[in-house]
């Protein structure tokens, strides 16, 4: 099993280029099911989750060619299956994003229920209720959801919680439905807006992207397009925090600073020096010890849950006491036990973690439990004295493109090792 061996105590200096956003690429890949013909997607990140999603699309009969410059050529004209198998959905829960497009395009879908996840139950009831409101007949059989609809019809749908993939699934389904669909309390994430913009390029009639009410007037046909995947704001936020953890100065390029407004406000309050350069770069610098700040995760434009574990590393070595509250997922503090192995002083009380800053962390072997927890442990290794061995790197490879190489290029002493030959010292 691959691990990352990190020798801490080295400040960072240089430039890191941000890759395309995983959470924009996945729904956009799914949207290619909605129209026949040749799509060209560029800046597609080279990630395990994207590879699994491409495998799923191929299983459905979609032709996909990936070119070396992170471009995908995709054609779903020969779509010949409506079934997403358990083996693939088990490995990547966002596979549920094919449900809406398959029902809309083929009139039926058989998608494995995603099952549990380390960070929470993550049900898909909003997705299913929305499709039923649009006229689909749903049955749950042998762990699969089977959906049928001669043609979906527009509906008024209210999300109890602004679900990101729930909004994406139903927005895609509504594009081919008969009539008007209103999504209320919809998600406002940039990745939802990016998907919506591509659907509009495909000929969809959509209003309200980026607000909590999205209105879609369905049409009979959509057309294939060329699309560039937006930069990954979570990757960018992670590297801003890498500079906060290790110290030094980084320039993060190919990013969208306005997608990180709330995050940058929080990091400035924590004492990081941030400067936007040429509208697509952010320079980050840390001098001296950080201030403790409180953080509460919220749906966009609030502080993202996907950066909660990462900012906890900064608070673990900040000056005083910080309260970090996770409001989106019910079990997203599994990195706490691992950070405590590195000497962090953290106490979990319900949905909040009370983080008392310590002078420094000490390297040790730790185990990654999920994607963002693995990024947090890498940052902790950068901050710690001595050597940290992060096991479970396959979690990291799901959502970060070549993180070890990108960090090594800016001075981090980090290398990918097999368990047996890591350097204990």
Binding site for ligand EPZ (CB under 6 A): 22-23, 26, 94, 120, 122-127, 161, 163-166, 305-306, 328-329, 371-372, 399
CB of 196 to ligand EPZ, least distance (A): 14
Distance CA 266, CA 123 (A): 30
CB of 229 to ligand EPZ, least distance (A): 13
Residue 372 or 406: the one with the smaller Cβ distance to ligand EPZ is 372
Residue tagged active-site, from 117, 175, 227, 376: 117
Shortest distance, position 319 Cβ to ligand EPZ, whole Å = 29
Minimum CB–partner distance for residue 359 and ligand EPZ (Å): 30
Q: Which two structure tokens, joined as six digits, stand for 152?
A: 């979906």
Q: How many residues does the chain have?
A: 425
Going by C-alpha positions, the residue among 175, 179, 190, 181 that lies closest to residue 213 is 181
Q: Which residue's CB is nearer to ligand EPZ, number 7 or number 335?
A: 335
Catalytic residue list contains 227: no
Structure tokens at 38: 């040749």
Q: SS3 string of the chain?
A: CEEEEEECCCCEEEEEECCECHHHHHHHHHHHHHCCCEEEEECCCCCHHHHHHHHHHHHCCCEEEEECCCEEEEECCCCCCCEECHHHHHHCHHHHHHHHHHHHHHCEEEEECCCCECCECCCCHHHHHHHHHCCCEEEEECCEEEEECCCCECCEEECCCCCHHHHHHHHHHHHCCECEEEEECCCCCHHHHHHHHHHHHCCCEEECCCCCEEEEECCCCCCCCEEECCECHHHHHHHHHHHHHHCEEEEEECCCHHHHHHHHHHHHHCCCEEEEECCCEEEEEECCCCCCCCEEECCCCCECHHHHHHHHHHHHCCCCEEEEECCCCCCCCHHHHHHHHCCCEEEEECCEEEEECCCCCECCEEECCCHHHHHHHHHHHHHCECEEEEECHHHHHHHCCCHHHHHHCCCCEEEEEEHHHCCCC
Q: In the bound complex, what is the minimum distance in angstroms from residue 26's beta carbon to ligand EPZ?
A: 5
Question: In angstroms, what is the minimal distance from the CB of 171 to ligand EPZ?
Answer: 12
Q: Closer CB to ligand EPZ, residue 329 or residue 333? A: 329
Closer CB to ligand EPZ, residue 120 or residue 135? 120
Q: Considering the complex, what minimum distance in angstroms separates the CB of residue 162 from ligand EPZ?
A: 7
Q: Please name every residue paired with 333 in a beta bridge, in sequence order, or none if there are none.
A: none
Q: Which residues belong to the active site?
A: 117
């Amino acid at each position: 099993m691959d691990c990352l061996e990190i020798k801490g105590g080295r400040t960072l200096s240089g430039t890191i280029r941000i890759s395309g956003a995983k959470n924009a690429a996945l729904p956009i890949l799914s949207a290619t099911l909605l129209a026949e013909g040749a799509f060209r997607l560029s800046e597609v990140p080279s990630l395990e989750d994207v590879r699994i999603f491409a495998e799923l699309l191929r299983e459905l009969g979609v032709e996909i060619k990936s070119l070396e410059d992170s471009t995908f050529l995709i054609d779903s004209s020969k779509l010949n299956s409506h079934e997403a198998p358990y083996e693939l959905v088990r490995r990547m829960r966002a596979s549920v994003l094919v449900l809406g497009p398959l029902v809309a395009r083929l009139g039926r879908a058989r998608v494995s229920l995603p099952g549990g996840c380390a960070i929470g139950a993550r049900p898909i009831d909003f997705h299913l209720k929305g499709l039923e409101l649009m006229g689909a007949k749903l049955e749950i059989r042998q762990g699969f959801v089977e959906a049928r609809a001669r043609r979906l019809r527009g509906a008024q749908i209210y999300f109890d919680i602004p679900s990101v993939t729930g909004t994406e699934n139903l927005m895609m389904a509504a594009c081919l439905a008969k009539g008007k669909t209103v999504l209320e309390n919809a998600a406002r994430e940039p990745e939802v807006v990016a998907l919506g913009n591509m659907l509009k390029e495909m000929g969809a009639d959509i209003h309200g992207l980026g607000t909590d009410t999205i209105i879609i007037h369905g049409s009979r046909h959509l057309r294939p397009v060329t699309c560039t995947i937006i930069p990954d704001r979570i990757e960018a936020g992670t590297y801003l925090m890498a500079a906060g953890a290790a110290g030094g100065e980084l320039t993060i390029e190919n990013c969208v600073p306005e997608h990180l407004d709330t995050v940058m406000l929080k990091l400035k309050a924590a004492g990081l020096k941030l400067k936007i350069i040429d509208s697509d770069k952010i320079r980050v610098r840390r001098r001296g010890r950080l201030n403790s700040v409180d953080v509460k995760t919220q749906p966009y434009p609030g502080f993202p849950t996907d950066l909660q574990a990462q900012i906890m590393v900064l608070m673990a070595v900040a000056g005083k006491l910080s309260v970090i509250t996770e409001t989106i997922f019910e079990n997203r503090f599994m990195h706490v036990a691992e950070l405590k192995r590195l000497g962090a002083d953290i106490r979990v009380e319900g949905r909040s973690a009370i983080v008392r800053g310590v002078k420094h962390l000490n390297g040790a072997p730790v185990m990654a439990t999920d994607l963002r927890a693995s990024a947090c442990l890498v940052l902790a290794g950068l901050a710690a004295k001595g050597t940290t061995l992060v096991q479970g790197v396959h979690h990291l490879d799901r959502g970060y493109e070549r993180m070890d190489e990108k960090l090594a290029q800016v001075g981090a002493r980090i290398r990918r090792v097999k368990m047996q030959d890591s350097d204990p010292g």
